[in-house]
Structure 1
Amino acid sequence: MPIRVAAEPTFRDVLAGTARAQIGMWVCSGSALVAEICAGSGLDWLLIDTEHSPNGLESTLSQLQAVHGYPIVPLVRVPAGERVIVKQLLDLGAQNLLIPMIDTAEQAREMAAAVRYAPLGVRGVGSALARASRWNRIDDYLARADDTISLFVQIETTDAVANIAQIAAVDGIDGLFIGPSDLAASMGLLGQQDHPDVVASVEQCIRTVSALGKPAGVNAFEPATAERYLAAGARFVLVGADVAVLARASEKLAATFIKPGTTGPAVDAVPRPSY
């Protein structure tokens, strides 16, 4: 007899089951090893990114497998709100999806349909072939698939901010995540995600979404900014990224041990590859 498998709780379930804000980090390296290290950190959730990171289906699958079994919830950010990409990521076992650049309620409805089977949606049926159902080892997967998936959309432009109440009201959207970097660019403040106008807009988004009964999340690497958004009611916050942690820590090592005015090996002493 095959082993029957239970579906993992979704991020929607986790958020609904605790009053404490969930603290997480990006996994952008494309490395399953790094993802596993981060999974054991004690953080609440990881965002495996396929939009701005060197990730495809195979590397995303490897990272989901690497973090499985750790007390942490993985979300996967898709590269774009495309039905085929959503279907592929769901089938390989991504239970929690974040869709970038959602500006309208209609776009949100399209994504809600993309994660659901007919008659409620348009997700293609391939459960017998897919890790999502553990190859039909999750009992009644087709009938219960909605319970195993949570869907979050990203607010990143002034248009999205203007439409945020309508987006939050869409059935099937489990939460909204605000991206201050792209929002700042949309506001004509490129690279100034901590500008007072951007921060005020993010805080207003958090309050609006929260008032509508949906959880709001945000990206905030600066501790003071993260604390401010938490105080405004953010329920899930990304406070770092694997590649950023490595970059800053390696720079600190260099600054600590390489003194100003010193040099490395002479150029001629550096081995050069032959081609």
Structure 2
Amino acid sequence: MDDLHGTVGTWVSLADPSVAEIAAGEAFDFVVVDTEHTPLGLETVADCLRGIDADNDTAGVVRTPWNDPVRIKRLLDLGPDGLLVPMVESAAEARGAVGATRYPPEGDRGVAAARAADYGRNFESYVREDHRDVSVIVQIESETAVDNAADIAAVDGVDALFVGPADLSASLGVFAEWTDPAFLGAIETVIDAGESAGVPVGTLGTTPEQIQALGSLGFDYMVAGADFTHLVEGQKRSLEAAEDVL
């Protein structure tokens, strides 16, 4: 993936690859496929990435279930353009996430001729160089992570920070209180850390109101909406429209 500054993505949680394909059909710069809080298995994630790849202008990002090298390895073999790693709270954990995406001697990723290497067609070039093209985005979503944000942002190989607003607000004891001073102060700290390190900082808004509220705080990129909220809100609007004429 290229620099995330000024980009807009969207979020996919539903276990039908056609949802990812539909999402990529809009003018989004990237689509995040979530495996942390969803039932998506590896086969489904692979098909979601194929759906996203059908639109050559849209990048596919996968959120891992955890900062775990085995899970990271298996997802990377599927060929995403970027990886979103949840709950990174220190520079050491950030270095671990980066190391899990790099082949030896830079890291400890296991070598395999999987989809990422075009099933072996590009095996040698992928292992030598191309694996470094995968963007590593780490999530800042706890008070501890905010305190360590500058050190995390400075880790070589961290391409972007991503604020998880729900988890961060919960960690601060102000869940979903998007205008609370503690939450806003934490956001400012993370954005300043990213700016100092030259690393873009983004977040997720699931509704137009939340997108605008969070987007006004100075983030560099946004994930705008999620498949399940689009479905729920669309249903509400359709039901209200029908009830108005009956």
Superposition TM-score, scaled by structure 1 size: 0.83
Aligned-residue identity in percent: 36
| Deviation of 1:141 (Å) | 1.4
Shift of 1:72: 1.1
Question: After superposition, where does 1:1-275 map in structure 2 within 5 Å?
Answer: 10=1, 13-15=2-4, 21-70=6-55, 71-127=57-113, 130-138=114-122, 140-223=125-208, 225-227=210-212, 229-258=214-243
In the alignment, the residues of structure 2 paired with residue 246 and residue 220 of structure 1 have an alpha-carbon distance, to the nearest angstrom, of 15
**Which shifted more, 209-218 or 136-145?**
136-145
Task: Indicate if the aligned counterparts of 2:102 and 2:132 stay in contact, CA closer than 8 A.
Answer: no
* Structure 2, gaps ≥5 residues long: none
Query: Structure 1 regions of 5+ residues with no counterpart?
Result: 1-9, 263-275
What letter corresponds to residue 105 of structure 2 in structure 1? P
- Give the distance between the partners of 2:235 and 2:34, measured in 1 at CA: 22
Task: Report the alpha carbon displacement of residue 221 of structure 1 after superposing the two structures with TM.
Answer: 3.1
2:84–2:136 contact (8 Å) kept in structure 1: yes
Summarize deviations over 1:134-153 as a string: whole Å, max 9, x none. 02222611101343211110
CA distance in 1 between partners of 2:178 and 2:42 (Å): 31
Partner SS for 2:119? coil
Report the Cα offset of residue 228 of structure 1. 5.4
Quote the Cα distance in structure 2 between the aligned partners of 1:148 and 1:126: 17
Larger radius of gyration: 1
Q: What RMSD, in angstroms, separates the aligned Cα atoms of the two structures? A: 2.0
**AA aligned opposite 1:170:** V
| 1:68–1:201 CA distance, 2 compared to 1 (3 A) | same
Contact 1:207 1:233 in 2 (8 A): no
- Does the C-alpha gap of structure 1 residues 224 and 201 become closer, same or farther in structure 2, counting only changes over 3 Å? farther
Q: Conserved in 1, the CA contact under 8 Å of 2:164 and 2:203?
A: yes
Per-residue CA deviations over 1:174-218 (Å, capped at 9, x if unaligned) read: 110001110111011123344343133213311221122111111
> Cα distance, 1:14 vs. partner?
4.1
